Amino acid sequence: MTRRGKYEPNDFPGLFDEEESPLSYGVRTCGELAEKVRLTGGQSSFSLPEVSPLGPIVVKPVPNKIVFMSFGSGSSGNCAYIGDSLSGFLIDAGVEPKQVVQGLAEHNISMDIVKGICITHDHSDHMRYAYTLLKKYRHLRLYCTPRAMNGIMRRHSVSRRLRDYHVSIYKEIPFTLGNFTITAFEVMHDGTDNAGFYVQHDDRAFAIATDLGCISDRADYYMRRADYIMIESNYDLNMLLFGRYPEYLKSRIRNVNGHLDNKMTAEYIARVYTERLKYIFLCHLSQDNNTPEIAIDESRKALEALGLKVGEGRNTPDDNASHVQLVALPRFDCSQLYILRPL
């Protein structure tokens, strides 16, 4: 301390000896820092310290619990939520806002902590209610690529004021939303500039690909690095081939820019499985050409062929003893709130 009674940086030997970026400082030395300031209480993770020249060093706990919920997944409408205790965001906005808001409220999650809406592509079942949500909750922003935004404005009767809420994002360039770092990546579908999302939070990652006709190289890259996957399992091939759809629609669905069938999804998740992968959410199941039972059965058999015990995501003792949880998201209803704790 100086004679004037003020602290100078040199009064804190050791904390300012090395020049490091904030990111490397927070990740690499937080445990050492905790020892230096002699904190107790069993905290295992810390944020970057705030040093006051007139006060003690404050180390804030980092929220480490992720929650996930779906409000509907299918051709009638798609919307899901990922968050922690302080912030979160929506993936797509194809479900009525009332269902979204009520679904969150049932778990004491306020729209005040929802920071934005990430749009995967410009099909109506993914963006139909975006402007309604943005107009009511004006702190929200809409995150999608410029081409996807142009597709929305061109293909749908939407207020031009939607652009006032738009934040441009670009594939393979990470951006921050609340406590999450998100990277959009290329997926193969017949919308405009279709994107999947790779969502990072502390040392965990969630990969999301809602509509795709085949697995692109970039989708494969991110899926292999995820702890949790949300992937399309749209149709059963026999149900589609012998169903009532016209031939042109069957061809569109089976196209490489269309949708994934149950078998393709099952084979893929079995191929990329590692011990890191803990939750698989099957999404966008067709109402006419699939059932949750068929989709789950196909993927379960592929995983069990690897010798894995497959749980149902219900947090039962039997599930907790499983290698991986496998869930088919409801088409029209809210799912349960899944708590994705640190591994």
Last residue of a domain, one of 18, 46, 62: 62
Beta bridge partners of 117: 90, 142
Tell me, yes or no, whether 170 and 30 share the same domain: no
**What predicted TM-score, i.e. pTM, was given to this entire model?**
0.81
- Domain end position, chosen among 36, 62, 88: 62
Query: Are 121 and 201 contained in the same domain?
Result: yes
* Cβ-contact 149, 193 below 8 angstroms: no
> Along the 343 residues of the chain, how does pLDDT read in single tens digits?
444 444 343 443 333 333 333 333 233 333 333 343 333 334 433 344 444 444 554 444 455 789 999 999 999 999 999 999 999 999 999 999 999 999 999 999 999 999 999 999 999 999 999 999 999 999 999 999 999 999 999 988 889 999 999 999 999 999 999 999 999 999 999 988 999 999 999 999 999 999 999 999 999 999 999 999 999 999 999 999 999 999 999 999 999 999 999 999 999 999 999 999 999 999 999 999 999 999 999 999 999 999 999 999 998 999 999 999 999 999 999 999 999 976 5
- Is residue 292 domain-shared with residue 235, that is, in the same domain? yes
State phi, psi for 186 to the nearest 5 degrees: -75, 135
Closest alpha carbon to 32 in 57, 6, 5, 63: 57
Which burial class, exposed, middle or buried, applies to 58 when counting CB atoms under 10 A from its CB (0-12, 13-18, 19+)?
Answer: exposed
Q: Are residues 116 and 38 part of one domain?
A: no
Q: Are residues 258 and 319 in the same domain?
A: yes
Residues spanned by the domain of 218 = 66-340
Residue closest to 123 by CA, chosen among 75, 167, 162, 160: 75
Q: What is the pLDDT, as a whole number, of residue 63?
A: 58
Position 64 scores a pLDDT of: 73
User: Looking at the chain, how many residues does it have?
Assistant: 343
Q: Tell me what pLDDT residue 98 has.
A: 97
Domain at 204, CATH number: 3.60.15.10
pLDDT of residue 156: 87
CB atoms inside a 10 Å sphere around CB 341: 10
DSSP assignment letter at 337: P
The verdict on 283 and 142 lying in the same domain is yes
Same domain, 227 and 111: yes
Residues 167 and 185 in one domain: yes
Number of domains in the chain: 2
Pairing relation of β-strands 279-283 and 228-232?
Answer: parallel
Please calculate the CA angle 222-225-229 and round it to the nearest 5 degrees: 75
In whole angstroms, give the CA distance from residue 238 to residue 286. 13
Q: Are residues 211 and 163 in the same domain?
A: yes
154 and 186 in a single domain? The answer is: yes
pLDDT given at position 342 = 64
The reply to whether 45 and 74 lie within a common domain is no
Q: Are residues 58 and 74 in the same domain?
A: no
The Cα–Cα gap between 216 and 162 comes to 30
Of 43, 62, 81, the one marking the end of a domain is 62
